[in-house]
Structures are given as C-alpha cells and as structure tokens.
Amino acid sequence: MQQTQNPHTTHLTIEEIEHRLRQHGYRLTGPRTVVVDAVLRHQRPFTAEQLVAELSSGDDSIGRATVYRTLEVLASMDVLTRIVSPDGHPSYISGAPGHRHHLLCQVCGITVTFTACPMSELISTLADETKFQINEHTLEVFGVCPSCQAHQ
C-alpha cells in the first residue's frame, strides 16, 4: 500500500498549477491565483464556505461565485479532490492528483491518502454480472486518528 502521511509530498507548487491552468486554456487572473494560494495553505480538508469566508474580508476580497468556480476548475484538473462524507457535507483536499482515496479523522480532520484501491476486482465482477457500464465509485474511510484517541 502506498501512503502519504505528510500531505506536503503530494502538493503541487503554485507554478505547476499555473502551468496546468494555461495548458487547459484557462487565463491566469489575479483572483484565481489568490484562491490557488489559499488552497495551497490548507493541509487539512476545508469546505468551500470556509474559503469564501477567508477570502471575502481580506484586502483583495474574492466573490463567492469566483471561489466556487475556481474550486470546480481545480478539482477538474486534479489539483484538489472533492470528497463527500456520509452525512452529505462535501469538503476539499488539496494535492491529490490521480486515483486516490482518503482516511479522515472525524475529530481533527487530519487525512491519510492511500492509493491502494480494492475496487478493481469487485468492479470487473460487478460489470460481468450486471452488464452495467461502470463509470465511477466513491470510497472514503472515516475514523479517529491516534492523537485524537489519546486526548479523549
């Protein structure tokens, strides 16, 4: 199993992200880079509204719509991952390119990313048996990290 205990190791630099934006035909605007910057500062999952709050009262305040639009763009380019918890609340994790899943601490939000996905076998079996064309799946794991277990 591959793991990334330190989220930094999967983070892209701001230059790499700007390069990706250009590659995908997006313009490099001021508000966009402010949002990207803010996203990179987060090492734990954050919600769209958190980001809106952070960026709405600063010197260069960014509109709500722009924050949502930029998050969507970044997610579509695999710069960040949108994950939905069982209670239906979505949050974003920065630095998660490729096919990854997450183990989240329900107390402090710290995240372990893993690429081991036991789904491929299940999916081919399911496809065989049901003749479905299978497009996507959700798989996220929730629990309590050792540190939060100790402090309770």
List of residues 6+ apart from 4 with CB closer than 8 A: 10, 112, 113, 114
Q: Is residue 58 a contact residue for DNA (CB under 7 A)?
A: no
Which helix (H) or strand (E) segment holds residue 108: the answer is none
CB of 15 to DNA, least distance (A): 14
Choose the one of DNA, its own copies, none that binds residue 139, judging by a C-beta under 5 to 8 angstroms depending on kind. its own copies
Query: Residue 40 or 123: which CB sits closer to its own copies?
Result: 123
Return phi, psi of residue 95, to 5°: 70, 60
Q: Is residue 136 a contact residue for its own copies (CB under 8 A)?
A: yes
Query: Residue 59 or 121: which CB sits closer to DNA?
Result: 59
Distance between the two ends of the chain, CA-based, in angstroms? 29
CB of 54 to DNA, least distance (A): 13
